[in-house]
Structure 1
Amino acid sequence: MNTSTEYPSRTAWRVSALLTSLALINFIDKISLGMVAVPLMAELKLTSAQFGVLAGSIFWLFSLSSIVVGFFANRFQTRWILLVMAASWALLQLPLVYATAPLTILVCRVLLGAAEGPSAPLSMHELFKWFPDAKRGLPVAILNQGAVIGLIVAGLIIPVVSRNWGWRMNFVLLAVIGAVWCVLWLIFAERREPPVFAAPAHVISRTDAAPQTLLPYRKLLLSPPVLIVILLGFSAYWSSGLMLTWLPAYLEKGYGFDHVTAGRIFALVILFTMPYTLFLSWYSQRLQARGASSRQARVQIINGAFITGGVLLLLQHFVAMPAGLKLTLFAVGNGLATICFALAPAILGELAHERQRTALLSVYAALVTSAGAIAPAVAGRFIQANGGNNIAGYETAFVIGAGMLLLSAALSMRYLHPERARERLSALGVSRSA
């Protein structure tokens, strides 16, 4: 591979488009059960607490598979691993079409989670191969918008499909979409090796150079800056997990909207996240281009988004206001936290040697997404305790997410300094050839 300060933009953005579409499918898969929660619960006679466990089951093996496959990907080409994963997603939708018992759904969702767990870190790693550090902010943000678009599509399409053909037909469509992506990946995925990027001389002492030493994984994973980044991601995913699982039911049972209207409102709530996530990612990249430190361009943006989002979520719960304003604050508050998914992996990319990056991102994804297993089940308990249809149960669960955003932002403000952390980690490492 050639060392270069340039990057093949056409190839890089083609890979980015394919990975973004994969993220779209990934998140339609994740939200699909939440979008059919009401008809599914009615048909299978499930309580809110039981459905919370069922919905969170997709994350039971999510974390473990993310770690295992992440280390596996250090030795094998990620493009083939991604293909196998996507094909398995498609196949695992089919048993749900005929499921008559919760156990069938539970098993399929657990296996689907195991297959989807490594998707985000592997996609990030594949993307990072084609973009130098200074240009990663925007493509990572766009990759994350694939998830947002997937949620919007799910909110608009799944309720309509459920109304006209039944909730099971959604899983037939997901199987077909997954198979189509596999064909497109085989045709258009780049087969040549990407370049190795050399940091430009004027920024090599700043954020563009990852540590040039390897560090024992125990020291790397237990270092305070890595732990704080993981906490930030966990807090953001907690809020996202609640929204993905319970927002449709919250709109239907809490506010009395019909299934299709609730889906449209859900799509609108998700749509709120796109403009400022893209803007903040672009602004972060622009700050770096002007010479800002990673703390200024990445950490402080995450902190500001978390604090603002947490305050808005507290206001929508504790201050009396019209339903429209309440939902707007909910949308903005949750949406601001998603900037973490664009910037946190980039921060971790600064802290690890390239040979350790995939494993670190995989462990990060594994620990962060474990919030997706815990949050729905915890929320289900609160909702069940408040009668299942009471809006207070839903909002109590959302307030816990707000508190986590504020706590993690406070720790990040005090302790997360990527430049200092990179120097300390490099000093603890061993030589590149070790």
Structure 2
Amino acid sequence: MTIHTRYNPKSAWIMTALLTGLAMINFLDKIVIGMVAVPLTAELHLSPAEFGFVAGSFFWLFSVSTIVVGFLANRFPTRWILLAMGVSWAVLQLPQAFAGSAVALLACRVVLGAAEGPSFPTSVHAIFKWFPDRHRNVPVAIINQGAAMGMILAGLAIPLITKHWGWRTNFFLLAAIGVVWCVLWLCFGREGTLDGAPRAASAVAASEAEAVDVPDAQRQPYFRLLTDRSILCVFLLCFAAYWLLGQTITWLPTWFEKGLGYGGVAAGRCFALVILAISIGNIGLSWLSQRMLNGGASSRQARVQLICVAMIAAALLLIALAMVDLSAAAKVVLYAVASALPAVCLSVTPALLAEMVPTAQRASMVAINTAVASLGAAISPAVMGRIVQVYGSGTSHAYEIGFAVGAALMIGVSLCALRWLHPARAQHTLKGSAAAVTA
């Protein structure tokens, strides 16, 4: 039975702020391994390929746990699921701080990845209980800004902390930050009840005050959902976006130091600059998508085509990075612009999936999408590590070849999505014709 309730912007934005904080912690946990790569690999005697293997291990169980918790989130309150995640993250920082070998560090990263994997889809499912469909792009983009804030903070603070107190100190600080978030969530975190969205054109104006749910079709077999061409295209787009994300958080600081010749602190500042560009691009393009929707554009125009154009443009810039002779500063700027464009995919695709699949299966489908997509982040660091080892970690071109591989992937999946991703058609098929008035 569908719950009808009133859209409460104040409470919805409070929850957005808390979940943005969780995303910040999530990405601090992810990026710390890349930010301490140089002293860590020196102390533990790791080759580039071995470091890429350890870094990618974070995502080995990421997908499995994401799917499992996604199905649980269909049936249990997200408030308690998210609290359990926050507690586990804080506790798991401590064994990383004491890790004395590559094997020990690898084991820690695998377990932490399993604990952190469900964070984004569970947060999206939680926030969708507070916002109607035409208001969902920006809240998800803002939650993603938590990730950006985490990476900017990492770029500015971790090199300084490492310089003065050693790389292990970062993990103790992350544990403390996690405890603080858990206390705030326990005090203020609540479960939303707004679980539908106004889809009829006549209901758009009313969405500010009242969410009028359109009854979904019966729950669909997962085989039918997972073999739909539109949904498969969403998976591929997110896989490509995560591929670039995995390279960025793992290898970008090392590229700045060993490839472009920056010092540790300067490399951290360059990294923060890149993440700031990603943040601005993400929120700007997500806002543009939402404005297009509210202006009468179809979901295919405002979501699908916008993502694909952004990805293709980013890919061309990354290819240019490998082919054109540029100064170190120019390469940083070019990479910043290129990486800012595909980030919109991670903010817009959850809403895209939510409009196509039955509400009762939304949490699990967003989770499955994240699980499949995160395989890109699991594979790309290892691929980059192998490329860097073959071409030499001290040459900028080695890293740029790795970036070009991701660029080719983005072009391929974008062309597939432009051909086969049709939200209105999938909504009609998977949710019933009553739900397909717009899109």
The interval holding the TM-score normalised by the smaller chain is over 0.9
Distance 1:428 1:98 in 2: 57
Report the counterpart of residue 289 of structure 1 in structure 2. 294
Give the C-alpha shift of residue 211 in structure 1: 4.3
TM-score normalised to structure 2 length: 0.94
Matched, 1:61 2:61: yes
Task: In structure 2, give the amino acid aligned to 1:413.
Answer: L
Give the C-alpha shift of residue 424 in structure 1: 2.1
Report the counterpart of residue 104 of structure 2 in structure 1. 104
Report the counterpart of residue 85 of structure 1 in structure 2. 85
Give the C-alpha shift of residue 417 in structure 1: 1.1
Report the counterpart of residue 121 of structure 1 in structure 2. 121
Does the aligned pair in 2 maintain the 1:63–1:367 contact within 8 Å?
Answer: yes
Distance 2:214 2:280 in 1: 30
Give the C-alpha shift of residue 297 in structure 1: 1.0
Report the counterpart of residue 393 of structure 1 in structure 2. 398
Distance 2:143 2:389 in 1: 36
Report the counterpart of residue 339 of structure 1 in structure 2. 344
Distance 1:67 1:95 in 2: 26
Matched, 1:257 2:256: no
CA deviations on 1:327-382 (whole Å, 9 max, x unpaired) are 21111111101000011111100111110000101100000011111000011000
Per the alignment, in what secondary structure is the counterpart of residue 394 of structure 2?
A: coil
CA deviations on 1:185-217 (whole Å, 9 max, x unpaired) are 0011125x5234452642579xx9584332100
Aligned residues with identical type, % of pairs = 49
Cα distance change of structure 1 residues 200 and 401 upon mapping to structure 2, 3 Å threshold: closer
Per the alignment, in what secondary structure is the counterpart of residue 104 of structure 1?
A: helix
Does the aligned pair in 2 maintain the 1:15–1:127 contact within 8 Å?
Answer: yes
Report the counterpart of residue 195 of structure 1 in structure 2. 194
Map 1:13-162; keep pairs closer than 5 Å: 13-162=13-162
CA deviations on 1:83-111 (whole Å, 9 max, x unpaired) are 01111101111012221111111111000
CA-based RMSD: 1.8
TM-score normalised to structure 1 length: 0.95
Distance 2:240 2:424 in 1: 23
Report the counterpart of residue 318 of structure 1 in structure 2. 323
Task: In structure 2, give the amino acid aligned to 1:189.
Answer: G
Report the counterpart of residue 429 of structure 2 in structure 1. 424
Report the counterpart of residue 179 of structure 1 in structure 2. 179
Report the counterpart of residue 164 of structure 1 in structure 2. 164
Report the counterpart of residue 373 of structure 1 in structure 2. 378
Give the C-alpha shift of residue 322 in structure 1: 2.1
Matched, 1:353 2:358: yes
Map 1:237-248; keep pairs closer than 5 Å: 237-248=242-253
Distance 1:303 1:296 in 2: 10
Cα distance change of structure 1 residues 198 and 93 upon mapping to structure 2, 3 Å threshold: closer
Report the counterpart of residue 432 of structure 1 in structure 2. none
Cα distance change of structure 1 residues 198 and 404 upon mapping to structure 2, 3 Å threshold: closer
Distance 1:248 1:55 in 2: 13
CA deviations on 1:54-100 (whole Å, 9 max, x unpaired) are 00110000000000111112121111011011111011110122211
Q: Alignment length, in residue pairs? A: 426
Report the counterpart of residue 9 of structure 1 in structure 2. 9
Task: In structure 1, give the amino acid aligned to 2:106.
Answer: L
Report the counterpart of residue 208 of structure 2 in structure 1. none
Does the aligned pair in 1 maintain the 2:27–2:150 contact within 8 Å?
Answer: yes
Give the C-alpha shift of residue 426 in structure 1: 3.5
Does the aligned pair in 2 maintain the 1:90–1:178 contact within 8 Å?
Answer: yes
Distance 1:197 1:426 in 2: 13
Distance 1:183 1:255 in 2: 42
Report the counterpart of residue 437 of structure 2 in structure 1. none
Report the counterpart of residue 332 of structure 2 in structure 1. 327
Task: In structure 1, give the amino acid aligned to 2:69.
Answer: V
Distance 1:209 1:391 in 2: 53
Report the counterpart of residue 207 of structure 2 in structure 1. none
Report the counterpart of residue 407 of structure 1 in structure 2. 412
Distance 1:148 1:265 in 2: 14
Does the aligned pair in 1 maintain the 2:128–2:194 contact within 8 Å?
Answer: no
Per the alignment, in what secondary structure is the counterpart of residue 337 of structure 1?
A: coil
Distance 1:121 1:355 in 2: 14
Task: In structure 2, give the amino acid aligned to 1:188.
Answer: F
